[in-house]
Amino acid sequence: MKRYTLIFSLGLLLAVVAGNMSYAQPEPLKSAEIMPEPVGGLKAFYDYIKSNLKYPEEARAKNIQGRVHVTFVVEPDGSLTNVQVTKGLGGGCDEEAIRLIKNSPKWQPGKQNGVPVRVEVTRPITFELK
């Protein structure tokens, strides 16, 4: 009976430990055999940016122009996560660039050995007053 109690206790302990383990996603690659790209290509992506960009009032008032560099992860399902500004302009431009990326259409994922993988991508978003 003690033997069964010991085996049961060990089994229960293993189940609890295994249940508490978190399965973290692998780190995104910086480069892949096939790099991610927007569905429709880069031209379609920048057309989306151009037609959806709302120039921030503060940036307009202060005549802030330039590029915001945004880094994000293209997930294996084509969704975009971990959106961050790596080089900003201020005046609301950084927040607008993040909004644009977060709301952009899905991308075709990058692939390594034929398998979709997480890939980190950086793209510039241009703010230009006309």
Q: How far apart are CA 118 and CA 120, in angstroms?
A: 7
The count of residues in the chain is 130
For residue 19, the one-letter residue type is G
Q: Is there a contact between 85 and 68 (Cβ–Cβ < 8 Å)?
A: yes
Q: Is there a contact between 69 and 121 (Cβ–Cβ < 8 Å)?
A: no
In the predicted structure, residue 8 carries a pLDDT above the cut 80:
no
Tokens representing 61 are 């008032």
Q: Which domains does the chain have, with CATH numbers?
A: 26-127 (3.30.1150)
Mean of the per-residue pLDDT values of the chain: 89
Instruction: Write phi, then psi, for 33 (nearest 5 degrees).
Output: -55, -45
Q: Is there a contact between 110 and 73 (Cβ–Cβ < 8 Å)?
A: no
**Residue 61 CA, distance from chain mean position:** 31
Res 130: pLDDT: 85
Res 6: pLDDT: 47
Residue with tokens 């085996």: 7
Res 10: pLDDT: 53
In the predicted structure, residue 14 carries a pLDDT above the cut 60:
no
- For residue range 72-123, list pLDDT tens digits in order: 999 999 999 999 999 999 999 999 999 999 999 999 999 999 999 999 999 9
Residue with tokens 């790099």: 35
Tokens representing 112 are 């390594």
Give the three-class secondary structure for 50: helix
In the predicted structure, residue 20 carries a pLDDT above the cut 70:
no
The whole-number average pLDDT for the span 26-51 is 95
